[in-house]
Structure 1
Amino acid sequence: MAGEDDVPVAKAQNTLQTLDRGLQALTLVSHQSAGISIAELAEQLSVHRAIAYRLVTTLEAHGLITRGAKGTLHLGAGLLVLASRFEPQFRTVAQPTLQALANETRAAAFISVPQGDECVAVMVAEPEGGLLRVTYRVGSRHPLVLGAAGIAILAGRPERSNDPDSVRQARADGFSVTQGQLQRGAIGIACPLHHLGQPTLGFEASLGVVTVGEADIPQLTAAVTTFAQRLKMLLRVTE
């Protein structure tokens, strides 16, 4: 008899149903800071409670989910181990692309991620053999609603009624352009590396450049969007 995972390739589109449900369960749990019950998880997954229970038990055995005192589900510490192993791999893949973007645009290139309501630069590359006229370092942070990097991250999320016009415009364009928001004379351009609430990187992030003074904005924008697509292909990000 066919098992739960033995779904036809055409129907499952080359995915394993149980694994897919398990990953969906992790995503749903991650969105509930106060935790979620197995019954609620089963309802959101549209599966029988017994199936949800088996999914949770399996994820719990691997440390990816933990249960609180009242049985509510939370993300487990096992995810921190995976994240710590992922970071050096991500840097190995992303750093050459980031450096190439900096060299081509003669601007500081960056990858930023959200932390609460702030945007934080986690990787920065400076153009080789040139004089950099803007200060942008790893750990630089600013509000998500200011600066190209943060606006691009917000533009990669599903639309909200209170989205600023800058985020709506960036979502329509596929990139964000800001001038003088974080530093006088600075021009920032960024693209989201995730797509409308589907962070297939495993997290939300943006790729961009920042420079000071006169700049060919269309040329910089073309370079950023091209390199963003290149990086997403390297990371096997699909939209």
Structure 2
Amino acid sequence: MAAGSTLQTLERGIAVLQAVAASETGLRIVEIAERLGVHRAIAYRLVNTLADQHMLRRLPEGKIVLGSASLLLGLNAEGALRTLARPIVQALADRTQATAFLSTAAGEEGVAVLTSTPKDAFLNINYRVGSRHPLTRGAAGIAILAGREATKGEPESVTKARELGYSLTEGQLQKGATGIASPVPMPREFAVWQDLSIGVVGVGGLDHDLAIKEVLVAAQDLAWAAARA
């Protein structure tokens, strides 16, 4: 591919990301094509390429929004979501005396984008930012899937988590560890902040009832904080 053609494709890709980011509820392919002044087929190819890299994501109704990779880039730059979530995740860790986390989806994997440990705890699980695992394993990933619309053939654990409002798993990612997580019900206008879960992971003396209550509260707190931001 000629250098000029490559540069034009890059410029168009950036323009797509900027157009989608400027839209509060996402754009359809035809709208992207109109904003870029290109044929719909070109817009379709650009969107497909960016979606393959998780920079964009298709909503069930067909609109295109920023994807998890865009979100992760923003978080690495100390973005607004991390600023909003940090005190909520820390409070969750302190109240449950367990390691708390905020996770998002990156393709078929869940990725921890923020973690906190109790300020006065003697022993904590080392759950690092950037830790990855399949969405179908572990409370964080199952909660993310539960926050989406139901799909045919989805795992029973996802259906159950959607009904309960939270996922509880034991020993799936680490022997002896219990994970509890809830999808974050972000307002639809925050399209880039969808596919999030918040929760805790602990061993031994984790109070399940308390943890479930606090995780559900934290999920609502983060959604409300985003709505007020």
Settle same-fold status: TM greater than 0.5.
yes
Q: What residue number does 2:190 align with?
A: 200
Gap runs ≥5 in structure 1:
1-21, 30-37, 39-51, 62-66
* Partner AA of 1:230 in structure 2: D
CA deviations 1:87-125 (Å, max 9, x no partner) are 521111110111111111111100001111111101001
Gap runs ≥5 in structure 2:
1-22, 56-65
Match of 1:236, SS?
A: helix
Match of 1:235, SS?
A: helix
Among 52, 76, 89, which residue is 2:80 paired with?
89
Q: What residue number does 1:71 align with?
A: 42
- For 1:136 and 1:153, the matched residues in 2 are separated by 18
Name the Cα RMSD after superposition.
3.1
Query: Which residues in structure 2 correspond to 1:1-239 (within 5 Å)?
Result: 26=27, 28-29=28-29, 38=30, 52=31, 56-58=33-35, 60=36, 67=38, 70-73=41-44, 74-75=46-47, 84=74, 88-194=79-185, 198=188, 200=190, 202=192, 203-236=194-227
- For 1:222 and 1:140, the matched residues in 2 are separated by 25
- For 1:23 and 1:103, the matched residues in 2 are separated by 34
- For 1:25 and 1:139, the matched residues in 2 are separated by 27
Change (3 A) 1:133 1:92: closer
* Partner AA of 2:204 in structure 1: G
Q: Is the 8 A contact 2:185 2:220 kept in 1?
A: no
Q: Is the 8 A contact 1:111 1:123 kept in 2?
A: yes
- For 1:88 and 1:138, the matched residues in 2 are separated by 15
Shift of 1:129: 2.0
Say which structure, 1 or 2, has more relative contact order (CA 8 Å, 6+ apart).
2
- For 2:203 and 2:138, the matched residues in 1 are separated by 14
Match of 2:79, SS?
A: helix
Change (3 A) 1:231 1:69: closer
Q: Is the 8 A contact 2:102 2:115 kept in 1?
A: yes
Shift of 1:175: 0.6
- For 2:26 and 2:79, the matched residues in 1 are separated by 26
Aligned residues: 185
> Identity over the aligned pairs, expressed in percent?
39
Q: Is the 8 A contact 2:171 2:178 kept in 1?
A: yes
Please give the TM-score of this superposition, normalised by the length of structure 2: 0.70
Shift of 1:131: 2.0
Shift of 1:231: 1.0
CA deviations 1:155-177 (Å, max 9, x no partner) are 01111111111001000001111
* Higher deviation after alignment, 130-139 or 97-106: 130-139
Q: What residue number does 1:41 align with?
A: none
Q: What residue number does 1:49 align with?
A: none
CA deviations 1:8-40 (Å, max 9, x no partner) are xxxxxxxxxxxxxx65552x44xxxxxxxx3xx
